[in-house]
Amino acid sequence: MTVANQRFLQACRREPVDATPVWLMRQAGRYMSVYRALRARHSILELIKSPEHATEVTLQPLDAFDLDAGIIFADILTLPEAMGLELEFISGQGPVFHNPLRTAVDVDRLQPVEPREALAFTLDAIRLVVRQLAGRIPLIGFSGAPFTLAAYAIEGGSSRSFITAKTFMHQETRAWHQLMEKLTAGVTDYCLAQIEAGAAAVQLFDSWVGMLTPTDFRAGVLPYMQQTIQRVQAAHPDVPVIYFGTDTAGLLPSFRETGATVIGVDWRIDLAQAWDLIGRDRAIQGNLDPVYLFAEPAVWQSAARQVLDAAAGQPGHIFNLGHGVLPRTPPEHVAGLIDFVHRTSCRPS
């Protein structure tokens, strides 16, 4: 389906736009009272696994704000769950896997996944959202990237230093590559299924990849990112693939080599410097520090203007935060930011 608002897709292709497109990671979530009201009655997994609820949550920020893209409400951990890991969201602690992968035998246990069956709830939600949007703006699908899923699967949850996951990667080299191959197959298929369901772009979230040395990234992650992105692009050459991680300033030269259409960067590097490292022949997404939205408008306007200035004079910038919207962010600041970006970047057409 052709969408009316083409800004996001144009920027992904580095075509001229009438104003810089903006969407925000976690644009659906706890900072919105309509979301909190729904969460008071349902667990996160209940919301994700009900296509109707996931559709409602996805549309909440799109009804409230002048966003240039939606992103399906889902979670990166439903894919490894579908591969046999027992997932639970524990209040105050976040997601945990009760049967983490600790040995090569555990990796063998991991089942191949048919996302069209096991993750049909998210694919159905994508179809519902696309129908309801009726071509107003594009919808982004997403998956966890293989590395972050592997780190979760081995560690069993979040961690300060990820000693278990990294040591597995450093020492159990063969099992590590087997695990990454299995996850790459699952991630690729999941992305393809989301595009078939109507996603106009896909973002690969590699939230934890910034814990790695550049050498470890190149040896243990890069080939799998290349495979994932190549396979998606081969099947759908017109669908942008966004690759995002945090703490990645030292990895950006290697990020380029993934082949991603768009690289998402956090706030820990100047956007202009990041773009130089990624290469100006790629689109870039970012990178306002989400904490700015807790200050008064004059403060985040000035910071947002700096981001826009760093990207000025060249097509291919998608405005976003450097990470997700934080839970207690004032919603009126989110609304104001989106309007500010459009107004400030507006170009005579």
Active site residues: 26, 30, 39, 75, 152
For residue 5, say if its preceding peptide bond is cis, omega within 30 degrees of 0.
Answer: no
**Strand 87-90, strand 241-244: pairing:** unpaired
273 binds its own copies (CB under 8 A): yes
Q: Which stretch binds its own copies (CB under 8 A): 50-58, 136-144, 177-185, 263-271?
A: 263-271
Question: What is the phi/psi pair of residue 231, to 5°?
Answer: -65, -40
Shorter beta-carbon distance to its own copies: residue 68 or 266: 266
Nearer to its own copies, 18 or 270 (CB): 270
In 202-263, which residue ranges form alpha helices assigned H by DSSP?
A: 214-220, 222-235, 252-256
Contact pick of 2, 91, 161, 349 for its own copies (by CB under 8 A): 161
Using CB under 8 A, which of the segments 48-56, 74-82, 178-186, 264-272 binds its own copies? Answer: 264-272
Residue 330 lies near its own copies (rule: CB under 8 A): no
Q: Is 93 in the site for its own copies (CB under 8 A)?
A: no
Tell whether residue 157 is a contact of its own copies (CB under 8 A).
no
State which residue, 210 or 223, has the beta carbon closest to its own copies: 210
Q: Which of 251, 284, 338, 341 binds its own copies (CB under 8 A)?
A: 251
- Of residues 166 through 225, those in contact with its own copies by CB under 8 A are 166-167, 170-171, 210-216
Angle made by CA atoms 269, 222, 314, in degrees to the nearest 5: 40
Residues 265, 276 contacting (CB under 8 angstroms):
no
Helices (H), strands (E): how many in the chain? 17, 9
Across 61-91, b (16+ Cβ under 10 Å) vs e yields bbebbebbbbbbbbbbbbbbbbbbbebeeee
Spatial distance between the Cα atoms of 239 and 235, rounded to a whole number of angstroms: 9
Minimum Å distance from CB 349 to its own copies?
A: 30
303 binds its own copies (CB under 8 A): yes
**Which listed range, 29-37, 99-107, 159-167, 223-231, lies at the site for its own copies (CB under 8 A)?**
159-167
Angstrom distance (rounded) from CA 204 to CA 145:
5
321/323 Cα distance (integer angstroms): 5
Binding flag, residue 18, its own copies (CB under 8 A): no
d(CA 28, CA 118): 23
In the complex, the smallest distance separating the C-beta of residue 147 from its own copies, rounded to whole angstroms, is 14
Q: Under the criterion CB under 8 A, does residue 269 sit at the interface with its own copies?
A: yes
**How far, in whole angstroms, is CA 293 from its chain's centroid?**
20
| Binding interface with its own copies (CB under 8 A) | 161-163, 166-167, 170-171, 210-216, 247, 249-251, 253, 267-270, 273-274, 289-292, 294-296, 299, 303, 306, 326, 328
